[in-house]
Structure 1
Amino acid sequence: MNRLKYITTAVVLVTLGCAAATAHAESFFNVEVGIGRATYRDQGNMIWYQEGLPYKLSLKPPAFMAGLTGDIVERANWGLAWHADYVYLGTVHTEAIATTDENYDPSAKACKTDPCAAQTRFSGHGNVSGVALTLEPHYDWRGFRFGVEGGPFIFLPSWTESLTPATPVPGIGATVVRASARLHVGAVVGISVGHKNFSLSFQHFFDKTHEEFTPVWSSTNVVMARYRF
């Protein structure tokens, strides 16, 4: 009987230990997904468009993310979480009619010649995707979680621009330029409020590049709804 009692006690202890380890693993490794809207901030006049001449910027695409998260420290009212997420900030498009820089007056926002000479049609598109690695200290109050986060953003920008004469010229086709496809290291900061597994977040991505053919954006804001499994 004593031997059976010891065996039963050992089984119970092992079971409790496994349950505790499983609970810890679940809190340290959770899958999270999110969907929202990005707002790319353009670099301003004379970067792929000229104010005063016709242009259109479509800079508010859908965005999504998927990754892993967990708590490094978890106390009654506060904690420290980590996030490792793949983020796709969406594809943007630009259309513009522009003249040469020499024939454009940025102060008057108009051509120097009348009629405006040497006009070219610019059609651009591109996107940003990358991995955000952040730490999030958070405060918990009555079931709600208020957090701030920040960390590096390793991203791959894509930008293609097609240039054609505004007035078709026989024998002259499009000239296509592309930003170099290479990884960049930026940063991301954000705030969030959540309840149970659901949260809303606002993030600012420092994703500007300094290429010769730079993309139209200077940074990106993202509002996103997230769910943690």
Structure 2
Amino acid sequence: MDSVFKALADPHRRDLLDALRRQDGQSLSELQAALPLSRFGVAKHLGVLEDAGLVTRVKRGRFTDHYLNAVPLTEALARWIEPYAVAPAVLGVLDLKARLEGTKMTDTKPDYVLRTYIRCTQDALWEALTDADAAANYHPFTPTAVRDGDTIVYKLPDGADMLICREMAKTPKTRIESEFVPKWAPDIPVSRFVWTIDPQGDACRLTLEHYDIPPGGEGYAEGWERLTAGLKTWLETGTPTRITAPQPEEAR
């Protein structure tokens, strides 16, 4: 966590994060155009942000796109800020937006990318992502999920469907590609997301890519960040952790 606060201490690095918050998935050249820095300077600052886990690079052939990875910020928020009920405006930095278009996952870059490292086995992480019963230990919005064949249905407290995730392709213990069907807002079109697991010694690197995010889906990012932070804490400590959104002052 020290590296996160150190990375945020520099105003140029904060400007880079702001630029990615406004438009995720930018190249080095695009980021340089928005800052009064040389290409080398921008690359150096991006390296610091990447080392802190705040920026993720995704290569597409000859191109490299940079994405804001808010998981470390979410973890800091859960540890240092939410317990003290700091103003909800702090959550704004976690509300990432993407306005990219595309139809084929193989031809387009993701609208949103999240990456974190979890100290657990590949088997444990795979089971956590595919076992519907495991959702009760980390899902921020519902403790109930049921599996029906290749589909996981997440339920609201009243038993109504909240979210349907239909698995379109799976590589055992490595990759899951799924449809994302938001039943809480049936007017929002279906989109797609991919989980990728890469073993890294005694840990696993977990990457989420969300494609085809439609207008109205701007809040998906914060949901993924809370879910992944809860998943990481549960797998590393054994303590079920659901990082829910703070209630408004009048509801407390």
Same fold (TM over 0.5): no
- Report which of the two structures shows the higher radius of gyration computed on alpha carbons: 1
Structure ranking higher in strand proportion: 1
Q: TM-score, normalised by structure 1?
A: 0.27
Q: TM-score, normalised by structure 2?
A: 0.25
